[in-house]
Amino acid sequence: MDAQITVIYCLCDDVLKALHHWEDPQRRMTDAEVMTTAIVAMVFFGGNFERARKLLKAPTYIPNMLSKSRFTRRLHAISGLVRSLFDLLSQTWKALNREAIYIIDSFPVAACDTIRIPRAKIYQREVYRGYTASKKRYFYGLKIHLMVTQGGQPVEFFLTPGSFSDARALHGFTFDLPEGSTVYADKAYNDYQTEDLLQEAADIRLQPIRKKNSKRPLPAYVIYLQEHARKMIETAGSMIERLLPKSIHAVTAQGFELKVALFVLASSIHYTL
């Protein structure tokens, strides 16, 4: 664990220096230390900031650890840096992904159990009630829409309410990929207009699994590659699910979404440890 914590801190510190991030030199705890504490909580303690704070408060780690409330305020204040770190890592994974093969899919993140929906305080609208076809069950919360390399490294993600369909969320991806890239997806992402637009504008091939009545059937070798690609996205999804606790403790929607983003970031950092 010591070596992994050191790697996480060095990564955060180096990224902030590369971004020429300025902070008040009189601060007791640096932004790199705040980010390290949050990521350690995701990797080792299921998102429990308090347990991470107690571990890292030791003299060999971060002796000037902030109090619980001040730490939470500082973390929310630098939430944009969390996204910046993820984006820089995604650029690295894209550069290393020489075959330029990517996969997209979505995963549910429940804010509460179905039986507790009437008492839910973070989200209170029907738009957050979604359905997971693979598990044949409803959930109440958000969806993570994720794009990963064929090695499972996440390169893009965003969050939507649970009821958003994958076809609707397809337009939320930026597809900031190298020319000639191939993106595999499941049946929910069939959209001929988007496929044509990506092919013509950026030379990106979007190849979702076709439905039986599709007017654009795919050759057998592409279908085989799609099945192999699905295993990669499932591996990436299971990595995030292993990090996620049974329930994410948060007081506000902003805090809940920040924790979800930190879990995705932690799954990306996992490939550097």
- The CATH number that applies at residue 116 is 3.30.420
Whether 73 and 133 map to the same domain: the answer is no
Residue 189 three-state SS: helix
Burial class (CB in 10 A: 0-12, 13-18, 19+), 205: middle
Q: Which of 204, 180, 179, 206 is nearest to 192 (CA)?
A: 206
Looking at residue 70, what is its pLDDT?
Answer: 94
Whether 108 and 148 map to the same domain: the answer is yes
The radius of gyration of the chain from alpha carbons, rounded to an integer in Å, stands at: 20
Q: Give the dihedral sign, CA 199/230/133/255.
A: negative
Q: What is the pLDDT of residues 146-155, one digit of tens each?
A: 999 988 889 9
The single residue listed with the structure tokens 């990521």 is 39
For 6, the domain range is: 2-77
Whether 73 and 9 map to the same domain: the answer is yes
Whether 241 and 157 map to the same domain: the answer is yes
Is the pLDDT at 190 greater than 90? The verdict is no
- For residues 17 and 23, give the distance between their C-alpha atoms in angstroms, rounded to a whole number: 11
Q: What is the pLDDT of residues 134-143, one digit of tens each?
A: 778 888 999 9
